[in-house]
Amino acid sequence: MAVYCIRPIALCEGPRDVSQWTYCLNIGTKCNSACYSWYIEGSEPKILVDAGARASDYAGTPFITRDLTPIEDGLDKLGLTPEDMKIIILTHLHFDHVALAYLFRKAKFIVQKKELDYARNPHPLDTIHYDLSTFEGLNFEMIDGDKEIIPGVSVFLTPGHSPGGQSVEIETTAGKAIITGFCSQMSTFTQTEEMRRRGWEVAVPGIHQNALEAYDSVLKIKHRADIIVPLHDPKFIGIETIP
């Protein structure tokens, strides 16, 4: 089995409320949040997980955000360009995971069919998260459920945050690393005393469509992963490689 490492590219960051990652918990407690793209080093064809966004893509939302690294510079540090990327796995189609997709002109974009179908006609409560202009016209490969992308890299359905969120499982020297298919931080996976009293092993992302599905998806990853890589945890800003 081929093994890989994950190279985080931290694109932007901003202040958030911890309750955004832990529904009904930690209301008013502040934290930092980051937006990333994730290069799977050693993949062939070359694979990036999520296209990411710039601070300007958050305009019109309540999320204050500042730029960290242009994605072109982050890739250049790895000896790469956007045109080198042949596969972009999109965890889901919220704007902050797909806004820079237009830069990857030679890539195929892997997305769950139910995510794309919904994103093209979202419920009014969800329109702040989906922007058709960021993904319409991309070269999509639509899949339905779990699939191996290349040996050692696979996706599996983890709905709840969005209808067709997909998590990415990557074989590494330290075991299975899973990039979550939903917006989360490590607080989503860390059981506190309050959670224990409620009988919750994990929390649920504050932004979700189905809290019960979201809980099951978080729990599935917690039990399955050797390394959990939440999409928005700031701890990866200064980390060059996972593991």
What is the CATH number for 184? Answer: 3.60.15.10
Give the pTM.
0.97
Phi, psi of 217 (to 5 degrees): -70, -45
Range of the structural domain that residue 215 is part of: 5-236
Residue 77 domain-assigned (yes or no): yes
Residue 211 domain-assigned (yes or no): yes
Q: Are 118 and 163 in contact (CB under 8 A)?
A: yes
Separation in Å, CA 175 to CA 148, 188, 230, 237: 17, 21, 16, 22
How far apart are alpha carbons 161 and 112 in whole angstroms?
14
Residue 243 domain-assigned (yes or no): no
Q: Which of 188, 233, 243 is nearest to 26 (CA)?
A: 188
State the CB neighbour count (10 A cutoff) for residue 1. Answer: 5
SS3 track for 119-154: HCCCCHHHCCCCCHHHCCCCCEEEECCCEEEECCEE
pLDDT at 197: 97
pLDDT at 1: 74
Residue 206 domain-assigned (yes or no): yes
Q: Domain count for the chain, please give it.
A: 1
Residue 79 domain-assigned (yes or no): yes
Q: Are 124 and 175 in contact (CB under 8 A)?
A: no
Residue 100 domain-assigned (yes or no): yes
Phi, psi of 24 (to 5 degrees): 70, 10
pLDDT at 69: 98
Residue 99 domain-assigned (yes or no): yes
Note down pLDDT in tens along the chain; length 243 residues: 799 999 999 999 999 999 999 999 999 999 999 999 999 999 999 999 999 999 999 999 999 999 999 999 999 999 999 999 999 999 999 999 999 999 999 999 999 999 999 999 999 999 999 999 999 999 999 999 999 999 999 999 999 999 999 999 999 999 999 999 999 999 999 999 999 999 999 999 999 999 999 999 999 999 999 999 999 999 999 999 999
Residue 242 domain-assigned (yes or no): no
